[in-house]
Amino acid sequence: MADGFHPPLEEYLETIHALVEEGVDVIQARLVERLGHSPQAVSEMVRRLADDGYLTRTGRGVALTEQGAELAASVVRRHRLAERFLVDVVGLPWSRAHVEAGRWEHVISDEVEARFVAILGNPTTCPHGNPIPGAPVDPTPQRPLSAVRAGEHVRITRITEQVEMDGEALAYLDASGLVPGCRTSVVARAPDGTVLLELREGSEARRAAIGTAMCAQIFVTDD
């Protein structure tokens, strides 16, 4: 998420929010990996955010305080509304919305946010399927693609923030038709965990391979 558009405070809070959303234990080593900063820089920033009341620290673990969680949710909400607006209204390619929204999220006023909600019809997710904080939550159980067996039919519902930060991965998914809402089936699973998917469009079928790491970041529901 370290892309030059994010103020350091919001960058860290957004990253912790994303890790929690993905079910990843939030420790400083994960922040180093996700942000691309040095361990020393991350440690110093975590200390500062804890001193300012945004975080709590327990050993290596890091958690958002109520104050930190509220600010993180506010920034993430505006980011995901901006993504939805860019894709649905502006017509920006799905695979490029995440980076562009990173430029918008810090300058969206309360009034503009309200207009986004009205124009978009109060959307519940961003174009990648991630929930918009403050919107109704779909209770349908989801599971990662890595847990789907060969022969099962599923619908893609969500692609995590970790994949969103990889422009090449998003472009591949987009070109393959593997976007939220698409129906697909697992044709085979290789010993290394790679999954071969088949998508059908009318009488035509096409296939795409997804590696182990990405399979853990794509969520589906039973179709």
Span(s) in the chain for CATH 1.10.60.10: 74-136
Residue 107's identity, in one-letter code, is V
Average pLDDT over every residue of 82-109 = 94
> What is the structure's pLDDT at 17?
96
Q: How far apart are alpha carbons 136 and 69 in whole angstroms?
A: 18
pTM above 0.95, yes or no: no
Q: How far apart are alpha carbons 28 and 8 in whole angstroms?
A: 15
Q: What is the pLDDT of residues 172-188, one digit of tens each?
A: 999 999 999 999 999 99
Q: Could you give the 3-state DSSP secondary structure of residue 217?
A: coil
Q: What is the pLDDT of residues 190-204, one digit of tens each?
A: 999 899 999 987 778
CATH of domain 8-64: 1.10.10.10
> What is the structure's pLDDT at 5?
54
Q: What is the pLDDT of residues 157-176, one digit of tens each?
A: 999 999 998 989 999 999 99
One CATH from 3.90.440.10, 1.10.1030.10, 1.10.60.10, 1.20.140.10 for 74-136: 1.10.60.10
Please state, for a pLDDT cut of 70, what percent of the chain lies above it.
Answer: 97
Which of 132, 114, 127 shows the shortest CA–CA distance to 86? 127
Average pLDDT over every residue of 94-119 = 94
Q: What is the pLDDT of residues 79-91, one digit of tens each?
A: 999 999 999 999 9
